[in-house]
Amino acid sequence: MKLSDTANSLTFEASTSIWQSPSGHLLDLEFEARLDPSVINRRKPDLWRYREALPVVSDHHIVSAGEGFTPLLFIDIDGKKTGIKQEQFFSTGSYKDRGATVLMSHIRSLGIRQIVQDSSGNAGCAIAAYAAMASIDCTIYLQTQTAPSKIAQIKAYGASIEFIDGSREDVAEATLIAARQHYYASHSWNPFFFHGTKTFAYEVCEQLGWKAPDSVVLPAGNGTLIIGCYIGFTDLIKAGIISRMPKLIAVQSANCSPLAQAFYANQKEYSACEIAPTLAEGIAIQKPVRGNQILQMVKESGGEFITVTEKEIIDAWKDCASKGYYIEPTSAATIAGLKKYNAGYADETVISLFSGHGLKSTDTILKLLSSSY
Ligand SMILES: *Cc1c(COP(=O)(O)O)cnc(C)c1O
């Protein structure tokens, strides 16, 4: 198991407590995942059923709350039955627990006692929860205007909070400075996080009878699920279980769509773009650290980007609620993208998700219902 800085053709032992290359570049994890359906089929229904595919050396270090193997429900979306993973069912209310369980297990294996992290909310909740389980000291950097329910949740787990009065990018910069002294349990920089989110791809494939869907419609802020799915489906191809990568369809809010703009301008690298406030706070990332990697993965899969307006997000949210599904407005952005995608590809097997629970966003939902939006 190695950490690689592809920009400089350097590799490091994964047991080294680094989260970025000494030159400041991104690190990826080189790890050979083993997947044997006949063994996996007999195990209990959580994401550690893929044990030999998860980069944690000793069982002794695993930090787990029995997470994963969320139901794959086929729900009628505009007249088409679409497979929706119920990722709002995780203990902290969003799929970020997939990344947190693997990253925190790795952190425990390194013997690290103190971590920092930054988040628009849900990644902070997940890291704070798993840090509490592992008795690791944790500080989460947040924007002052983070949803109160998420602030309460992070505090409840015993994490310290540093509020930054500024943009999401200002929060990221403050955390990078703190990360000079403490290990950065980042869901954008740290490659171990994606080796947790990749289990989404494994589960989708297993739940379809060890078959790949045609496409997967995913949110694209920092792209934790897009990168995870790219890794996960690649592992399944290498294991000979599926034969091709599903199309990765990436959804951004039209009010914050740096990657979609680069994709449609046919650029390999994205640039900073104008942004406006959006209900999809969880994917409002102006400068995604791995943005160029995400662009390349979507392209290579034959996928595409879709942007959704505020009205489309609200309509999708209302549609889900009217069917009995209470989700975060950020999650509704992905469903709005799914609706657009389904309209063009009626005969495909399409999988998407409810990424976060509605209970996370009571304030915004109350405003939404009183139609001040
Ligand atoms: C994190 C998150 C997303 C997706 O964000 P990425 O930054 O692309 O990983 C979507 N919905 C919810 C509820 C989230 O918490």
Q: How far apart are CA 336 and CA 12, in angstroms?
A: 41
Rounded to the nearest angstrom, the distance between the alpha carbon of 38 and the centre of ligand 1 is 32
Rg of the Cα atoms in the chain: 19
Here the tokens at position 216 are 């997967």
- The kind and range of the H/E element at 192 are helix 191-197
Torsion of CA 60, 65, 68, 71, to 10 degrees: 150
Mutation test residue for ligand 1: of 90, 150, 283, 320, the one with most atoms within 8 Å of CB:
283
The total of other beta-carbon atoms located within 10 Å of residue 88's CB is 22
Question: How far is residue 333's CA from residue 219's CA, in Å, rounded to a whole number?
Answer: 8
Q: Taking a C-beta distance cutoff of 8 angstroms, is the pair 218, 150 a contact?
A: no
Q: How much distance in Å is there from the Cα of 5 to the middle of ligand 1? A: 25
Question: What is the Å distance from ligand 1's center to 84 Cα?
Answer: 15
Position 36 pLDDT exceeds 70: yes
Please give the full DSSP string across 141-164, using - where no structure is assigned. EEETTS-HHHHHHHHHTT-EEEEE
Helices and strands of the chain, counted as H and E runs? 13, 13
Tell me the pLDDT tens digit for each residue of 113-150.
999 999 989 999 999 999 999 999 999 999 999 999 99
Burial class (CB in 10 A: 0-12, 13-18, 19+), 265: exposed
Residue nearest to atom 2 of ligand 1 (CA): 282
> Which pLDDT belongs to residue 346?
87
Supply the residue whose CA is at minimum distance from atom 15 of ligand 1.
122
Is residue 133 packed enough to be buried (19+ CB in 10 Å), middle (13-18) or exposed (0-12)? Answer: middle
Cβ count near 98 (within 10 Å): 28
Give 124's Cβ-side CA count (13 Å radius): 33
Average pLDDT, the chain: 96
Ligand 1 residue neighbourhood (C-beta within 6 Å): 94, 96, 122-123, 219-225, 282-283, 285, 328, 330-331, 355-356
Percent of the chain scoring above 90 in pLDDT: 97
Residue 222 carries which side chain, given as an amino acid letter? N
Q: How many angstroms separate the CA atoms of 318 and 51, rounded?
A: 38
Residue in 95, 248, 361 to alter for ligand 1 test, most ligand atoms within 8 A of Cβ:
95
Q: Are 234 and 245 in contact (CB under 8 A)?
A: yes
Supply the pLDDT for residue 199: 98
Q: Tell which atom from ligand 1 comes closest to the C-alpha of 328.
A: 13
**Statement: residue 373 has pLDDT above 70:** no
Average pLDDT over residues 290-302: 98
- The Cα 360–Cα 242 span in angstroms is 36
The token duo for 42 is 């007999």
Q: How far is the CA of 157 from the centre of ligand 1 (A)?
A: 20
Say if residues 191 and 123 touch (Cβ distance below 8 Å). Answer: no
The two beta strands, 247-253 and 114-118, are unpaired
Query: How far does the centroid of ligand 1 lie from the alpha carbon of residue 221, in Å?
Result: 6
Minimum CA distance residue for ligand 1 atom 9:
224
Kindly give the distance from the C-alpha atom of residue 1 to the centroid of ligand 1, in angstroms, as a whole number: 27
Decide: 93 and 154 in contact? Cβ < 8 Å. no
Residue among 224, 338, 357 whose CB has most ligand 1 atoms within 8 A, to mutate: 224
Q: How many CB atoms lie within 10 A of CB 45?
A: 11
Query: How confident is the model over 53-109, as pLDDT tens digits?
Result: 999 999 999 999 999 999 999 999 999 999 999 999 999 999 999 999 999 999 999
pTM of the model: 0.97
CA of 120 to the centre of ligand 1 (A): 9
pLDDT tens digit string along 310-336?
999 999 999 999 999 999 999 999 999
Q: Is the dihedral of CA 38, 39, 40, 46 positive or negative?
A: positive
Chain segment 58-68, per-residue pLDDT in tens: 999 999 999 99
Q: How far apart are CA 325 and CA 257, in angstroms?
A: 26
pLDDT given for residue 272 in this prediction? 85
pLDDT surpasses 60 at 195: yes
Strands (E) in 159-246, as ranges, are 160-164, 183-184, 215-219
| pLDDT reported for residue 302 | 98
Whether the per-residue pLDDT at 371 is higher than 80: the answer is: no
pLDDT of residue 372: 57
Residue 193's pLDDT is 98
The CA 282 to ligand 1 mean position distance, Å, reads 5
Check if the beta carbon of residue 241 is closer than 8 Å to that of residue 292: no
**Residue 242 · residue 206 · CB < 8 Å:** no
